[in-house]
Structure 1
Amino acid sequence: MKKSILFTLLLTFSFAISCKKDKKENTKSEVITEEKVVETVTEEVKKIKIKLEPKSDSNVNGSAVFTETEGKVTMVAVFDGLTPGTHAIHLHEKSDCSSPDGKSTGGHWNPTNQQHGKWGDATGYHKGDIGNFEADENGNGTITFSTDQWCIGCGDATKDIIEKAIIVHQGVDDFTTQPTGDAGGRVSCGGIINLE
């Protein structure tokens, strides 16, 4: 009988240890999985292409592409028919290129009421004060300009270039003469109009 009780106790003890071991193994075998969420962000690219036409009895034709991506607008403009040398280029207030001299575009685009100057100068500059570029001996010129101070169709009156004009001048912008930089006549004009 003692053997029987001892056997029963051993069996019970053995079963208890076995159950306890199973519980530990189950705890160890639990795996926590985390789901990773991958979010794809598509950056919107805005683009406007414009043609520039001769003004002030010049032969200056051109085209410009304005592209906005990652909060920056880049302008790439190409011209022909220029006199060789340096020419000023600005954005003007209105996209109206109807007058023969290009003056229907108004003055430089200056929504923050600054003095005329060189782009980025601490003393001030118009949002339309792009600067100067060179025309080669054949009258061809190219300029690339990028800024985060412009936008395409964002509705911010201090940044939005829609309904403005791009003007090429006969002369050089001296960056000091007010309010135009003494850049001379307007020889090419293109309205920045959103056709979409």
Structure 2
Amino acid sequence: MLKKIMGPMILLLLIISACSGNKDTAEQEKREDTAMVNAETPINIPLINTEGEKVGEAELSENSKGVAIHVRAEGLEPGKRAIHIHETGKCEPPDFKSAGGHFNPGHKEHGFHNPKGYHAGDMPNLEVNSEGKVDEIIKTADVTLERGKPNSLLDKDGSALVVHAGEDDYVTDPAGNAGDRIICGAIVKEGN
């Protein structure tokens, strides 16, 4: 009788242990995300729309795993929106063409699904909620905030974070068929 009870009890304990392990892993990942965003010297940048009005902000920080970009904005149409890092830290409305092309120190083509790509400035689409707000952390190991590196966002003319009107298809060169530039934030730090 004891053997019949012990088998299911051990199985139950293993299941409980595995579930708590998943919880611990999720909590660890959340702590790492928070640690990246709260790194020693984050860069805070205002995000402006095509009329030059502030609609949000982004905070960039770096640790040994890469750069985290915490994007918070409102006043957007719900749905998926492309977000890219562009090569110049200048955001002149209404079209933000002053930000130049995508940040691409490796001289590749655009898109995560492009066999010849992808740009260092390519990032996953943002998901704008039904209230027109976005609050997401994007992580990338393809860029750095360390000056003097070829993939530094803080080169002599800085770089820019740009949100597009549409979704990135992750293939079409040069910009994923993402549409107009609707939000921009200059990534610059004193001394650029």
| TM above 0.5 | yes
- 1:180 equivalent to 2:172? Answer no
Could you tell me which residue of structure 1 aligns to residue 143 of structure 2? 150
How far apart are 1:71 and its partner, in Å? 5.1
How far apart are 1:45 and its partner, in Å? 3.3
What do residues 118-171 of structure 1 show as CA deviations (whole Å, max 9, x unaligned)?
28x7642101001201111110012212223221133112x2012000000010
Could you tell me which residue of structure 2 aligns to residue 74 of structure 1? 68
8 Å Cα contact 1:71/1:151 also seen in 2: no
Greater Cα offset, 59-68 or 180-189: 59-68
Decide which of 92, 105, 112 is 1:118's aligned counterpart.
112
Could you tell me which residue of structure 2 aligns to residue 165 of structure 1? 160
How far apart are 1:107 and its partner, in Å? 0.8
Could you tell me which residue of structure 2 aligns to residue 191 of structure 1? 186
Query: For residues 49 and 85 of structure 1, do their structure 2 counterparts lie closer, same or farther at Cα, with a shift above 3 Å needed?
Result: same
- 1:129 equivalent to 2:129? Answer no
Could you tell me the percent identity over the aligned residues?
Answer: 35
Could you tell me which residue of structure 2 aligns to residue 138 of structure 1? 131
Query: For residues 128 and 153 of structure 1, do their structure 2 counterparts lie closer, same or farther at Cα, with a shift above 3 Å needed?
Result: same
- For 1:28-39, list aligned pairs within 5 A: none
SS of equivalent to 2:98 = helix
Query: For residues 46 and 188 of structure 1, do their structure 2 counterparts lie closer, same or farther at Cα, with a shift above 3 Å needed?
Result: same
8 Å Cα contact 1:93/1:109 also seen in 2: yes
- Runs (5+) with no aligned partner, structure 1: 1-43
> How far apart, CA to CA, are the structure 1 residues paired with 2:54 and 2:101?
20
How far apart are 1:59 and its partner, in Å? 7.1
Structure with greater helix percent: 2
- Name the amino acid aligned to 1:64: A
* TM value normalised by structure 2: 0.71
How far apart are 1:68 and its partner, in Å? 1.2
- Name the amino acid aligned to 1:72: G
> How far apart, CA to CA, are the structure 2 residues paired with 1:58 and 1:154?
28
- Name the amino acid aligned to 2:189: N
* TM value normalised by structure 1: 0.70
Runs of 4+ in 1 over 3 A off after TM superposition: 57-60
8 Å Cα contact 1:84/1:138 also seen in 2: yes
Decide which of 44, 48, 51 is 2:43's aligned counterpart.
48
8 Å Cα contact 2:52/2:94 also seen in 1: no
- Name the amino acid aligned to 2:180: G
Aligned residues, how many?
A: 150
